[in-house]
Chain A
Amino acid sequence: MKSEYDVVIVGAGVIGLYTAHHLARGLDPRRILVVDRSTLALGASGRNGGGVRQQWETVPTMNLARESVHAYRRFAADFGYNPWFRQGGYLFLAFSETEVASLRKVEAIGRGVHLPVRWLGPREVQRCVPGINPSGLQGGSYLSSDGVILPFPVIWGLAASLRDQGVDIQLRTDVQAIERSGGRVTGVRTSAGSVRTSRVVNAAGGWSSEVTAMAKLLPHTHPTLHEILATEPLTPFLDPMVVTLRRGVYFSQTMRGEVVGGMTLDHGPEVRGMASTPRFLFEMSRELVHLLPRMRRARILRAWAGYYDDTPDGLPVLGEEPHLKGFHQANGLGGHGFMLAPAATRLVAEGVLEKRSDQDGKPFAPDRFGNGDAPRAMERLQLG
């Protein structure tokens, strides 16, 4: 670690590493520092379900997702690490009229931007997911180019490429303070010493609100504990990622054959620490067996948990803070940071480099929280 850098990125998850990757094209890579308090892939980026989808309720998010899918299709060839991106589709299921209506809306918005989202009737759903419980099923929206990815190789690929280019990745080092003076960032203090810099990127994921607070700003994000499980590896039988709107249950089959799935669970303040809970094991088993009854005799192999950061309007926070020059947010990606990473971090990097972007980053800019009004645009297709 040197004593001065052009930019310091807090967090070496997929967001921090991808941001560094984009920045290394516009800056001297040796002048970029990525700091993480733990080792690689111990944050959410090493704990997620690898779901990659483009079906959203708002066009700006859809655009981020689409660009990211393109990046992931090329990832193996570009980085030499294979994340086995498998485009088996995403299938959102509807069990009520309201759910049909909101998924029909996704279909329409998708078509508006030339994403061929299709509506599947109950029969087609049953063909697509062999053994699905048909009771109450009204149909679902399906996009075949969505898919699942193995998160780890993405992290290794990015880290190896950054290392080769000369970017410093400083692990097991805690960022403890953001130094500022006169409305500008001047440096960061870490457990391994202080570093001078005029630009900081907050890519601290589930801990992003703490880092924002270190800069003496009001946080826009809050941490959410999310749990997930994997079954024993089964031979291939399930192509798409299957999602229900009610309770946000999702499951898919990885390239290793495991069925990996999670659901939205509101944990009270009782539950702390990054560990699984019995409650999740029981409720998730119940949901999975209800949706796919034949899974009752498949075994759970492991369950784990991770933290990500949510925002009040369901949109990520990307870009420079209006009241602190040089402090760039790259967080608030909720349960979808992996699938949006390549494009979301491109916007962040362009902000850092003060480049004009081809995409309108406004809906994601931190100034939307400016005067306490509830932000207008809302992305409600939040799951997992």
Chain B
Amino acid sequence: MDRDHRITISVNGRRVSARGDRSLLAALTHEHLPVLTRSLKYHRPRAPFCGTGQCTGCLVRVNGEPSVRACEYLPREGDVVRTQRGWPSTQHDLWALFDRLFPRYLDTTHGFTRPAFLRPVYTRFVRRFSGQGAVPDDAPGPLPRPLERETPVLVVGGGQAALSVASELVRMLGPDRVLHIGHPKRPGLQHSLLFLRPPVRGVFEAVAYRQGEPALRLQSRAVVLATGAYDASLLFPGNDRPGVMTAEGAETFASGEDGPPFRHALLFGAGPRAVEMLSRLKGRVALVATPWEATPELAQEATRQSIPLHPGQLLLSAEGPSGIQTAVLKDRRSGATTPVSVDAIVLAHRRIPHAAALFQAGALMQWRDDPGAYFPVLASNGATSVPGLYAIGEVAGSGFGAFPEEEAHRVAQSVVAQLEGGKESAPEGAPSEGPVPGATSSPGPECPMLSYYRDFLRERPQSKVMLCACEDVCLDEMEGVVREGWGGLEVAKRISGVGMGLCQGRYCVPETMLVLSLLERRPPSEIGTITQRPPIWPVPLGALAGTEEGTP
């Protein structure tokens, strides 16, 4: 396509000019991120947050398909785009009343129980407000059958680690014996792994999918996961406001024609990720706040760009009429509070591995206090506890931006040795769901994020802190759950709905583990985590349902 190819689409009935080679979100963004949707229970305004096809901040209806992620959809001439939530409009939504009516949280577990004869009335009323988008319009046309493929080696990942391993393997085995599928960053636009079964007699079964195509059903003897990591969310009042975004989000949004959708951002983070963001967001960062001591590199870079740096801060709140005008910082040591005027908050303080497939395949996982997440237990050649399954790069625990090339070579060599030696002795059958395997905590200094949240919880914030933005579960609600005597992440999920939303728990589970650990006074490794259910990325039924011959 011609790079300047302009097309016309309709957005809520208005004609909008767009570029066919940029995401729909780019067409909808002008200087500031648009409020595209409203949250599930309280109808809070929501704008894009993650930029990587995971959060629920940019869901719109496109040509009759509900909840399409604008950030990963390439518009086509004549597309009909509608925002799907809010009445009379997404911008001005009367139902935002619920947010005021329930200043702490709306308790649907204990609420609406009495009198018994009103049950059908309550049910009808509450049901009216359920759901994200309306059922899809009918779509005619054939549904091609999923493709089946056998490949000796499957490499999964879209970053440097995946590329290096894949090219080593191709060099050693030839291109026909290696299949490399990309993930994440633009999950919709590349094949992403939806499901990885533990091997049965040495053979892995996997399912992958790319937007608009039938699913891929794969069998392979060795799998290398280089799925990387993502920037985490952070708890503070106003953390779901338009203008709060992850570092990845800021990267994505900054690549638009107008540059980043903000002018004076607060960058929150203390390490290499924050350093990188400083150089990416040139001129648009007003100040840097770090949750703990800044690394010397970060301090240096901030000084070089003459950006003020506030070390050891709690992010207390973000406020504004809509979006963000001020943020309040509090020095963790002196207790001094500093209001700062900013129009965005960029979160670059913590990265969480994309480890769902490792859990699914039954790999032994281990809790690491820094950054506060589970990583696979690995041998020196990158082998996990599951024969034939390897992990490399950020998902395997090599820090951000620190990928050693020799590692790719080592992993590729052991994969080849395994294939040629034929000495795989895979455990039969699948592990059951149960307590997290290998959930041991390593002794050492306390998890930095845990001590951050300990300080934060002392502040007893008065307004809603969104723990799970997809399902509108607030911090207060989780405190209620623990107060009633329930505990552990699996139970907390089943009571509150935390982790059951469209991001598959990516933005709430890491925070909830730490919060529960503090509320229940148990180490994070005892809180457990939720089962990583397939699909790892939501997938249209039609991609799996096809019965017709041939590809589209």
Contacts and interface: CB of A to CB of B under 8 A. Distances in A.
B542 A296 contact: yes
Interface string B535-547: 1001111111111
Contact of B541 (A40, A81, A285): A285
Contact of A273 (B132, B429, B543): B429
B40 interface: yes
A288 B540 CA distance: 12
Nearest to B135: A237
Nearest to B143: A296
A156 B495 contact: yes
B39 interface: no
A298 B432 contact: no
Nearest to A151: B494
A278 B198 CA distance: 12
Contacts of B110: 80-82
Contacts of A81: 109-110, 113
A289 B541 contact: yes
Interface residues of B, number: 75
Contacts, number: 206
Given A86-B127, A296-B540, A76 B195 contact: no
Contacts of A275: 197, 360, 430-433
B288 to A, nearest CB: 37
Interface in B130-144: 130-139, 143
Contact of B484 (A85, A160, A278, A304): A160
Contacts of A78: 116
Contacts of A40: 491
Nearest to A74: B116
A134 interface: no
Contacts of B486: 156
A214 interface: no
B430 A273 contact: yes
A76 B119 contact: yes
A295 interface: yes
For chain A, the bracket of interface size reads 35 or more
B127 A301 contact: no
A234 to B, nearest CB: 5
Contacts of A111: none
A246 B538 CA distance: 28
B533 A302 contact: yes
Nearest to A76: B113
A257 B545 contact: no
Interface string B87-106: 00000000000000000000
A46 interface: yes
B217 interface: yes
B3 interface: no
B109 A272 contact: no
A41 B488 CA distance: 12
Given A77-B113, A282-B544, A294 B138 contact: yes
A41 B217 contact: no
Interface of A: 38-42, 46, 73-74, 76-82, 84-87, 131, 152-153, 156, 160, 163, 231-238, 255-257, 270-278, 281-282, 285-286, 288-290, 293-304
6 contacts: A232-B538, A275-B432, A278-B217, A293-B138, A298-B540, A301-B535
